[in-house]
Amino acid sequence: MAFQDRFLRPATRRGALKQLGAAGVALASGPAWGQTVTTLPLPGGPGERDLTDAFPEKGRMILQRTRPPMLETPFEVFDQGVFTPNDLFFVRWHWAVIPTDINVDSYSLSVHGHVAKPLTLSLKQIMSLPRTELAAVNQCSGNSRGYFQPRVAGGEWSNGAMGNAKWMGVRLKDVLDLAGVKPGAVRVRFAGGDDPVVADAPKFMKSLDIDHARDGEVLIAYGMNGAQMPLLNGFPIRLIVPGWYSTYWVKMLNSIEVLDGADDNFWMTTAYRIPDTPGANIRPGETGIPTVPINRMVPRSFITNLHEGATVRAGEDTPVRGIAFGGSTGVRAVDLSTDGGMSWKPAELGRDEGKYGFRQWSTSLRAPAGNLAVMVRCTNTDGLQQPVAPNWNPSGFMRNVIETTQLRAVKAS
């Protein structure tokens, strides 16, 4: 089956689904039009979530929290192509004081700290710098947290706190060079327009090593899939840190501060820490493990056209497709297993839109009548592979276990 290598806007999606349905595929059933509640299959619940159209510049999203906004992408969106539409891209803010009136003529970005020439740049000045484009997955550190067992506190996401976009912007390096980083610089710290309700609560700030900040891949983006980004996704500019978790992708970026020492701010030293173990994995209840700031993403893959419990026709070829991403590098292979991981069959990879983005894959399977568990596994170009067993840590970070979808193959009547 050809890849759905393009976007199906809502107006055309129904027709496309009908076509696929005619091919005998049991389709991933998303929320029907007009449906206002969905149920996420989180172990132990509660899984019921409202679907909301109430957020400006956003389509129908899974409501995790109204204020500060946390909106999840309905999973069927990921079957529509490798780029996640801006209006369906997930949203996650830490603090409730979010500027909602952004004037593009007066907005400015301050570059300060350990630099030769502190700068205040207008959007016009930023946009006059050399422009680059890059596809990259933006994924919440806690994507899929709701599937941790034992369960942990936090945003109880299903798998939709991620998205892939083509980001357009300028290199952070070029902006830092304009200001002239002084010798002895160690970190670069980023902050945006959001503020805590309680004034002495810790302002949200994240930092990168100076060498990472100057690697030429970290971007200041003003474009998302060819348009300006929704305010809730960081308008007018946000940081893009390819291959790293979303916590570093500071939204509504207005401050870049070069530090000549370590960053001792709460969001680096206390929050967003992972156990310093392979896969950020520890035993539940285990203590005394050293921690480090969360950093590079790890590979993941998902079936997108067949939902859990779907029925397929026994003895007939069933198209299976989905998305994968390599995490901090590209996808080398996507393999499927229908025998509990004893043997694996490679899927065909779709067009490479860039190593940091989603990669579509497709294959087909044929099964005798009965229950069928389909496992999908991504191996990235560093050779890192999704694990068979889920990781666990108290913050619910970095889940990337091999996903298993239970299907039922039935004889055609």
Q: How far is the CB of 265 from other proteins (least distance, A)?
A: 12
Kindly list the distances between the CA atom of residue 285 and the CA atoms of 144, 152, 269, 281, 383, in Å, as whole numbers in the listed order: 20, 11, 21, 12, 30
- Rule CB under 8 A: say whether 366 interacts with other proteins: no
Stretch of 64-72, 253-261, 308-316, 397-405 lying at the interface with other proteins (CB under 8 A): 64-72
* 235 forms part of the interface with other proteins (CB under 8 A): yes
DSSP state of 77: G
Interacting residues with other proteins between 342 and 361 (CB under 8 A): 351-357
Single out the residue of 46, 261, 315, 370 in contact with other proteins (rule: CB under 8 A): 46
Query: Does residue 303 sit in helix, strand or coil?
Result: strand
**Binding string to other proteins for residues 268 to 307, with x set by CB under 8 A, is what?**
--x-------------------------------------
Where does this chain touch other proteins (CB under 8 A) — which range of 185-193, 211-219, 279-287, 302-310? 211-219
Among 30, 74, 85, 322, binds other proteins (CB under 8 A): 85
Q: Applying CB under 8 A, does 76 fall inside the site for other proteins?
A: no
Tell me how far apart the 2 most distant CA atoms of the chain are, in Å. 76
Contacting other proteins within 191-210 (CB under 8 A): 195-202
Residues in the chain: 413
Q: Does 55 bind other proteins (CB under 8 A)?
A: yes
Task: Measure the CA–CA gap between 61 and 71, rounded to whole angstroms.
Answer: 6
Where is 172: in which H helix or E strand? helix 172-179
Measured distance between the N- and C-terminal CA atoms of the chain, rounded to whole angstroms = 24
Contact letters for other proteins, residues 90-119 (x by CB under 8 A): ------xxx-xxxxxx--------------
Q: Using CA atoms, how far apart are residues 176 and 129, in angstroms rounded to an integer? A: 12
Cross-strand partners of 36: none
Q: Does residue 114 contact residue 185 with C-beta atoms inside 8 Å? A: yes
Task: Report the residue number, 103 or 371, with the smaller CB distance to other proteins.
Answer: 103
